[in-house]
Amino acid sequence: MEGHTHSSPPAASGTSSATTPAPETSHKAPNYYLVWLFLAVLTVAEVGVAFLSAIPKQVLVIALILMAVWKALLVALYYMHLKFEPRRLWLIVAAPLPLAIILVAVVLLEQW
Amino acid sequence: MSQAAAATLDRSTSGFGVYNLKLGMWVFLLSEVMFFTGLIGAYIILRFANPEQFAEPGVVLNVPLTALNTFILICSSVSMVKAFAEIERGNQKGLRMWLLVTIALGIVFLSIQAYEYSLLAHEGFVPVADAYAAIGRHGGETIVGGPLYGATFYTMTGFHGAHVTIGVLCLMFTAFKAFRGGYSAQNVGGVEIMGLYWHFVDLVWIILFTIVYLI
């Protein structure tokens, strides 16, 4: 863990701080370098897996998508600090995901 | 409206427990999710429907070069989050240094993408060609594909590149403000919002790299 705390959201500056107190959500900052290491290793693993001819194509596609989602989650949770945000914000973030899945699924169904 | 009143309005908390500017950025990013989902969805359907127009991974596109570019963008996310961490501690020098590193990495990413485009165009892989012939890197065979491959590739990576370009410009503005002492431990909102956008651009590239280059 890094040696400082991260407060979100920040308090207002100057005279306005007295009128807009920020909710207290202090937490230890995550180890950003460890997350970076995970992302780098996963990227190398992705490239390696992509060129493994021994793996059936369907398995390979699923493995690659899972690794990409894993990397995306690491970025969202730790670099975008979503893990430390109020749960109410998660609702907003999650809102378009079912819509995105529906969009792609409907397009695919139309093809088949 | 006075500056103090504007600052109060900007940093007042919404019903979602975050200040308004941050909520606004999240809502904007979610609209961007739908935008890129549309592009990726179109790519998937076109590729399923016209497999003969798309080459296997590594035959036309340069995967090692793009993997390096992916790594550079990941590094820029670390430098961006370090900039935010430094200003949270009130370290102006650290903020400025990490912002400059992020800008430099963003420019390197764009430069490599431009170099990749020039290589592909030299091989005849352009978005408007009815058919292209590219010399594959594995065995030197001639690859013949269709216009959909180039159109979808350049549309997706081009829009992402445009986002990175806008991000670099916004980072330059943020750095300019940082060098003028515009941020402090009590006023980190601008850096945090800039970071949200930059990390989102990284996140989108992570998905695009897998779908366009590896699958």
Calculate the alpha carbon distances from A66 to A78, A83, B119, B165, B173 in Å: 18, 20, 30, 28, 36
Q: Chain B residues with CB inside 8 Å of A47's CB?
A: 63-64, 67, 214
Q: Does B200 touch chain A (CB under 8 A)?
A: yes
Residue A37 has pLDDT above 60, yes or no: yes
Q: Does B28 touch chain A (CB under 8 A)?
A: no
Q: Among all residues of chain A, which has the CA nearest to that of B46?
A: A111
pLDDT of residue A26: 63
The ipTM value here is 0.85
Question: Which residues, listed in sequence order, are joined to residue A28 by a DSSP beta bridge?
Answer: A5
The beta-carbon neighbor of B34 closest among A85, A93, A99 is A99
pLDDT of residue B200: 96
pLDDT of residue A22: 41
In whole angstroms, what is the distance from residue B86 CA to residue B100 CA?
13
Quote the minimal CA–CA distance from B128 to chain A in Å: 24
What would the pLDDT profile of B153-164 be if each residue is shown by its tens digit? 999 999 999 999
Q: Does A109 touch chain B (CB under 8 A)?
A: no
Check if the beta carbon of residue B78 is closer than 8 Å to that of residue A33: yes
Question: What Rg do the C-alpha atoms of chain A give, in angstroms?
Answer: 20
In whole angstroms, what is the distance from residue B55 CA to residue B142 CA?
11
Check if the beta carbon of residue B178 is closer than 8 Å to that of residue B92: yes
**Contact check, Cβ <8 Å, B41/A99:** no
**Contact check, Cβ <8 Å, A93/B30:** yes
What would the pLDDT profile of A58-104 be if each residue is shown by its tens digit? 888 899 999 999 999 999 999 999 998 888 888 888 888 888 888 77
Residue B83 has pLDDT above 50, yes or no: yes
Confidence of residue A18 (pLDDT cuts 50, 70, 90): very low
Quote the minimal CA–CA distance from B122 to chain A in Å: 25
CA dihedral A45, A51, A56, A61 (to 10 degrees): 60
